Amino acid sequence: MRPLEGGLGYDATFMALARAALEVRPERIDAGDVWVATAADGSIAGIVALGPSEQPHTLDLEKLFVAPRRIRSGVGACCWRTPWPREGGRGARRLTVLSDPYAAAFYERNGAIRIGTAPSDAITGRMLPLFEIRLDPTP
Protein backbone atom coordinates (compact mmCIF):
# COMPACT_ATOMS: atom_id res chain seq x y z
CA MET A 1 0.00 0.00 0.00
CA ARG A 2 1.41 3.39 -0.92
CA PRO A 3 1.63 6.02 1.82
CA LEU A 4 -0.90 8.81 1.77
CA GLU A 5 0.28 11.50 -0.60
CA GLY A 6 1.13 15.03 0.45
CA GLY A 7 1.32 16.06 4.02
CA LEU A 8 2.05 19.05 6.20
CA GLY A 9 4.05 21.02 3.69
CA TYR A 10 7.10 18.77 3.60
CA ASP A 11 9.08 19.12 0.40
CA ALA A 12 9.80 16.37 -2.11
CA THR A 13 13.32 15.77 -0.76
CA PHE A 14 12.03 15.20 2.76
CA MET A 15 9.25 12.91 1.53
CA ALA A 16 11.74 10.87 -0.51
CA LEU A 17 13.89 10.36 2.60
CA ALA A 18 10.83 9.38 4.65
CA ARG A 19 9.16 7.17 2.01
CA ALA A 20 10.44 3.82 3.35
CA ALA A 21 9.25 4.63 6.89
CA LEU A 22 5.85 5.70 5.57
CA GLU A 23 5.20 2.56 3.55
CA VAL A 24 2.70 0.04 4.87
CA ARG A 25 4.03 -3.47 4.31
CA PRO A 26 1.61 -6.23 3.24
CA GLU A 27 2.83 -8.53 6.02
CA ARG A 28 1.77 -5.95 8.63
CA ILE A 29 -1.69 -5.87 7.06
CA ASP A 30 -1.84 -9.68 6.99
CA ALA A 31 -0.85 -9.78 10.68
CA GLY A 32 -3.88 -7.61 11.55
CA ASP A 33 -1.76 -4.67 12.73
CA VAL A 34 -3.14 -2.10 10.25
CA TRP A 35 -6.54 -0.45 10.15
CA VAL A 36 -7.73 1.70 7.26
CA ALA A 37 -10.35 4.44 7.41
CA THR A 38 -12.16 4.92 4.12
CA ALA A 39 -14.24 7.85 2.95
CA ALA A 40 -17.72 7.48 1.48
CA ASP A 41 -16.20 7.49 -2.02
CA GLY A 42 -13.97 4.53 -1.11
CA SER A 43 -10.73 6.53 -0.96
CA ILE A 44 -8.32 6.07 1.93
CA ALA A 45 -8.98 8.75 4.55
CA GLY A 46 -6.44 7.52 7.09
CA ILE A 47 -4.53 4.57 8.47
CA VAL A 48 -3.23 3.39 11.81
CA ALA A 49 -0.66 0.64 12.36
CA LEU A 50 0.66 -0.89 15.56
CA GLY A 51 3.79 -2.92 16.00
CA PRO A 52 5.83 -4.68 18.65
CA SER A 53 8.14 -2.73 20.90
CA GLU A 54 11.47 -3.66 22.40
CA GLN A 55 9.93 -2.84 25.79
CA PRO A 56 7.86 -5.48 27.64
CA HIS A 57 4.06 -5.08 27.58
CA THR A 58 4.46 -2.22 25.11
CA LEU A 59 3.31 -1.58 21.55
CA ASP A 60 4.62 1.10 19.20
CA LEU A 61 2.35 3.25 17.12
CA GLU A 62 4.08 2.63 13.80
CA LYS A 63 1.87 4.90 11.76
CA LEU A 64 -1.14 7.14 12.07
CA PHE A 65 -1.74 9.17 8.96
CA VAL A 66 -4.71 11.15 7.75
CA ALA A 67 -5.13 12.25 4.14
CA PRO A 68 -4.32 15.98 4.10
CA ARG A 69 -7.80 16.99 2.94
CA ARG A 70 -9.30 14.97 5.85
CA ILE A 71 -7.23 16.59 8.64
CA ARG A 72 -9.46 18.01 11.40
CA SER A 73 -12.46 16.04 10.15
CA GLY A 74 -12.43 13.40 12.91
CA VAL A 75 -10.62 10.75 10.87
CA GLY A 76 -7.48 10.99 13.03
CA ALA A 77 -9.46 10.58 16.25
CA CYS A 78 -11.28 7.59 14.76
CA CYS A 79 -7.98 6.02 13.71
CA TRP A 80 -6.52 6.71 17.15
CA ARG A 81 -9.37 4.94 18.98
CA THR A 82 -9.84 1.96 16.64
CA PRO A 83 -7.15 -0.49 17.83
CA TRP A 84 -7.39 -0.04 21.62
CA PRO A 85 -10.24 -2.44 22.42
CA ARG A 86 -8.31 -5.23 20.70
CA GLU A 87 -4.97 -4.68 22.39
CA GLY A 88 -5.78 -6.17 25.79
CA GLY A 89 -5.45 -9.58 24.17
CA ARG A 90 -1.80 -8.90 23.40
CA GLY A 91 -0.99 -8.07 27.02
CA ALA A 92 0.04 -4.53 26.12
CA ARG A 93 -0.20 -2.02 28.94
CA ARG A 94 1.36 0.94 27.18
CA LEU A 95 1.79 2.40 23.74
CA THR A 96 4.69 4.56 22.61
CA VAL A 97 4.32 7.17 19.90
CA LEU A 98 7.22 8.70 17.99
CA SER A 99 5.42 11.77 16.70
CA ASP A 100 5.87 14.14 13.83
CA PRO A 101 6.23 17.58 15.45
CA TYR A 102 3.10 18.77 13.60
CA ALA A 103 1.07 15.94 15.20
CA ALA A 104 2.28 16.40 18.78
CA ALA A 105 -0.72 18.51 19.84
CA PHE A 106 -3.07 15.86 18.42
CA TYR A 107 -1.56 13.16 20.63
CA GLU A 108 -1.64 15.42 23.68
CA ARG A 109 -5.33 16.22 23.07
CA ASN A 110 -6.01 12.49 22.86
CA GLY A 111 -4.43 11.53 26.18
CA ALA A 112 -0.79 10.82 25.31
CA ILE A 113 1.88 12.11 27.70
CA ARG A 114 5.15 13.45 26.33
CA ILE A 115 8.04 11.51 27.84
CA GLY A 116 10.94 13.02 25.88
CA THR A 117 12.45 12.90 22.42
CA ALA A 118 13.90 10.11 20.31
CA PRO A 119 15.69 9.81 16.97
CA SER A 120 13.57 9.70 13.83
CA ASP A 121 13.21 6.30 12.21
CA ALA A 122 13.32 7.97 8.80
CA ILE A 123 15.60 11.02 8.86
CA THR A 124 19.09 10.66 10.32
CA GLY A 125 19.87 13.31 12.93
CA ARG A 126 16.24 14.41 13.35
CA MET A 127 14.82 14.24 16.87
CA LEU A 128 11.08 13.79 17.38
CA PRO A 129 8.68 14.09 20.31
CA LEU A 130 8.13 10.78 22.11
CA PHE A 131 4.81 10.08 23.82
CA GLU A 132 3.23 7.24 25.74
CA ILE A 133 -0.29 6.30 26.63
CA ARG A 134 -1.32 3.76 29.24
CA LEU A 135 -3.58 1.07 27.81
CA ASP A 136 -4.08 -0.63 31.16
CA PRO A 137 -4.09 1.25 34.47
CA THR A 138 -1.98 -1.38 36.24
CA PRO A 139 1.67 -0.35 36.72
Per-residue H/E/C for 31-56: CCCEEEEECCCCCEEEEEEEEECCCC
Q: Specify the amino acid at residue 70.
A: R
Backbone angles phi and psi of 113, in degrees to 5: -110, 130
Whether the predicted model's global pTM rises above the 0.75 cut? yes
pLDDT tier at 15, thresholds 50, 70, 90: low
Separation CA 119–CA 125 (nearest Å): 7
Q: What is the pLDDT of residue 30?
A: 85
pLDDT category of residue 85 using cuts at 50, 70 and 90:
low
Higher pLDDT pick, 113 / 65:
113
Q: Residue 1's pLDDT band (boundaries 50, 70, 90)? A: very low
Summarize pLDDT for 106-116 with one digit per residue, the tens: 999 999 999 99
Domain 12-134 has CATH 1.10.3860.10: no
Mean pLDDT to the nearest integer, 71-93: 77
Residue 83 pLDDT greater than 80, yes or no: no
